[in-house]
Amino acid sequence: MLSSIGIPGLILILIIALVIFGPSKLPEIGRAFGRTLSEFKTAAKDLTKDEEPVQSLEPAKTTEATKAMEPAKKEVS
């Protein structure tokens, strides 16, 4: 997506942003964008980490359930 913009297009976008927001607001906007991007990356990593343990806990729950049912099977026999 960004590879089609090129250097001249990027320079034009930066000049337009400088004219619209001014030199005092531009660093603040860049900082806010950087924080937002880092929070998004952190949240995405947390989501992928949360999914992995859930899959590994599924078999453990089934073995615990079968162990809990074993005494009931002995009483029936």
The pLDDT assigned to 19 comes to 92
Cβ(27)–Cβ(18) under 8 Å?
no
As given in the structure block, the two tokens for residue 32 are: 């806010």
pLDDT single digits (tens) 23-38: 889 889 889 999 999 9
The pLDDT assigned to 12 comes to 93
pLDDT single digits (tens) 31-68: 999 999 999 999 999 888 866 554 554 555 555 555 66
3-state secondary structure the chain: CHHHCHHHHHHHHHHHHHHHHHHHHHHHHHHHHHHHHHHHHHHHHHHHHHHHHHHHHHHHHHHHHHHHHHHHHHHHC
